[in-house]
Amino acid sequence: MKERDLARWTTALVSAGGFAVAWYLMEMHVQASVGEAVGGALCGAHSVVDCTAAAQSRYSMLFGIPIALLGQCFYAAVFVVALFDRQKVRDSAEPFRPGAIASTLFGVGMIYSLFLAGVSIIELKSLCPFCIMLYVINLLGVVGASMWAGEKPHQVVKRQLQRPSGFFNGWTGLFAMTFGLILLVGTQVADSAIRDRLQEQARAMEQTGQEVTRVEESLYRAEHSPAKGPVDAPVHIVKFSNFPCPYCGALAGVLDQISEEFGDDLRVEYRHFPLPSQADGAASAHAAQCADEQGRFWEMHDALFSAAPELGPESIRDLVGRLDLDPDAFEECMESDRPRETVDKDIEVGRLLDIEGTPVFFLNGHRFDGARGPDMIRPLVEEAIGEQKE
């Protein structure tokens, strides 16, 4: 059985490589979440090679967890069970022995890889080289794990379906324990990295001086922008946002919280910046503008972020009904040029401001790229209120 033992170690090596690539993709997730440029030279090697589109895509997260982190957990768990596997176990008929577990899960990973590849080509119209590396790693994992299991992938799955009770054993327990541990640690590491990056940006702003980062209000504010809060509020926040963007949704929730805390001292304004790589970005922006014509922009704003990433025509129609909007007036608006013209104006302004990704927001003239937590925004608002009262 030397061939199967070799396949076991080959699968472990492939998993180690997958963990390394997924680790780098998590670094991209951190970069995207704080508004930094995503990736290195490899990501800009060609016009269709775009790591930013993948990192900011609605498909970059699954169940609210970055898929890069889920990948790290999976590859680490396969590596661990490979380390503890023994020949007696490999030779058994146990449907959930280590090789069989890896074979099935790598198969699922390969199917998901094909889905993501299709999304990249059809919807994002760009390719992420590190994502492609994982697609290849998953393919190699399917081959190696099936040889490790000593059966073809479909035969492994058939045996597992015939004996589902065999799932509850020490090997699946070891896999689940490793997966959960990496998920817990990885989440904490990612959160800490994001906080550190944001603090570095804040320190850099302090060192360079506020005047360097200040932007004239006339460049980013507009009378047509939907807003909440008094016009004469001492502090204003203007955000350039995009409904399919998960980081924009996170910032929206933070700004709702901050708005409640500061009341009439804060005005929040919205400007659209859908990304070309996100097919539903423009359509959802148009839907928000049409809701605005009925005085319901912020209700649609919240509903779109809650519904993301499902923002296709059918989902938007459901939201129109849920918000009790006039369907005929909404449809007439969507078929007209009015929402497109407004959104295009915002996009043009965003480009003039060198905005490349979302979210970006301006607080009394100071620009911030990426999402921020309440603990970062609250002191900025307090400081701005103090400056206005002096």
Residue 75 has pLDDT above 90, yes or no: yes
Q: Quote the CA–CA distance of 106 and 98 in Å, as a whole number.
A: 12
pLDDT at site 211 = 43
Q: What percentage of the chain reaches a pLDDT higher than 90?
A: 51
**Predicted pLDDT at 207:** 54
Determine the pLDDT at residue 292: 95
195-254: pLDDT as tens digits: 777 667 666 555 544 444 578 888 899 989 999 999 999 999 999 999 988 788 888 988
Burial bucket for residue 17 (CB in 10 Å: 0-12, 13-18, 19+): middle
User: Which has more confidence, 32 or 70?
Assistant: 70
Q: Is residue 1 pLDDT above 70, yes or no? A: no
Domain 209-389 class?
Answer: alpha beta
Query: In this model, does residue 92 exceed pLDDT 90?
Result: no
Q: What three-state secondary structure class fits 253?
A: helix
Question: Residue 44: what are its φ and ψ, rounded to 5°?
Answer: -120, 25
Average pLDDT for 280-286: 91
pLDDT band at 55 (very low <50, low <70, confident <90, very high): confident
Inform me whether the pLDDT recorded for 77 exceeds 60. Answer: yes
Please state the domain extents for the chain.
Answer: 2-193, 209-389
Angstrom distance (rounded) from CA 66 to CA 270? 26
DSSP letter assigned to residue 244 = T
Pairing of strands 266-272, 235-241: parallel
Find the length of the chain: 390
| Prediction pTM value | 0.62
Mean pLDDT of 39-68: 71
Q: How confident is the model at residue 126 (pLDDT cuts 50, 70, 90)?
A: confident
Q: What is the DSSP string of 31-54?
A: HHHTTPPPS-GGGGSSTTB-HHHH
Q: What is the pLDDT of residue 101?
A: 93
In CATH, what number does 2-193 get? 1.20.1440.130
Q: What is the pLDDT of residue 208?
A: 47
- Please say if the pLDDT value at position 327 is more than 90: yes
Q: Per residue in 331-355, pLDDT tens?
A: 999 999 999 999 999 999 999 998 8
The answer to whether 101 touches 172, Cβ cutoff 8 Å, is yes
Distances (CA, A) of 233 to 217, 252, 356, 384: 14, 19, 29, 11
pLDDT at residue 82 in the model:
93
For the chain, strand residue ranges (E) read 61-62, 65-66, 227-228, 235-241, 266-272, 360-363, 366-369
Is it the case that residue 179 has pLDDT exceeding 70? yes
- Per-residue pLDDT at 324 exceeds 70: yes
Domain 2-193 identical in fold to domain 209-389 = no
Q: Give the residue, 333 or 57, on which the prediction is more confident.
A: 333
